[in-house]
Amino acid sequence: EAALAIDPRFSDARILRAGILASRRQYDPAIADLQQADALDPAKPMIKLDLAKVLDEAGRPDEARREFEGILKSQPDYVPALTGLGALLTKAGQYDQAEALLRRSLTLEPAQDEGRFNLARVLEQQGKRADAAAEYRRLVENPATTPAARQAARARLAALGR
């Protein structure tokens, strides 16, 4: 608040405040802050990415999808947007599109936990249990996997009986 009082054009302060508001489920003001930050600094794809994620959390998936797609139109290899849109499409039951996006994100950045876990979930939801288990195992066996992702992958392997 103090930084914005000094300079209301300080986009980073808006981004930080939006994160706090979103964590409190105050989505409308968070979205407004991110939209203002984006207007102030349109060259930062991370602002649009944050906006897409908050829109999704707020139950506005069509708007979130437009944001993800807008990012990918200008930066087709932006892995966080590929992963985010893949996760959004998974929730919408659009598994084939989600799988394609998540595989592409992993081709560009193979070590990412989020994309691999989301791919495994898509495969699982498509009934491709063996393929899903293989992706979960990759997470468990990779020493670079975060502890949270490793634990989640182990839980899914157990749920699959693997």
Cβ proximity of 47 and 73 under 8 Å: no
- Residue 14: the pLDDT is 87
- Is pTM, for the whole model, over 0.95? no
Residue ranges, the chain, pLDDT below 50: 2-6
- Residue 6: the pLDDT is 45
Q: Angle, nearest 10°, between helix axes 79-91 and 113-125?
A: 30
Cβ proximity of 115 and 83 under 8 Å: yes
Mean pLDDT of the chain: 93
SS3 content of the chain, % helix, strand, coil (to 5): 75, 0, 25
Closest C-alpha among 27, 102, 14, 94 to residue 58: 27
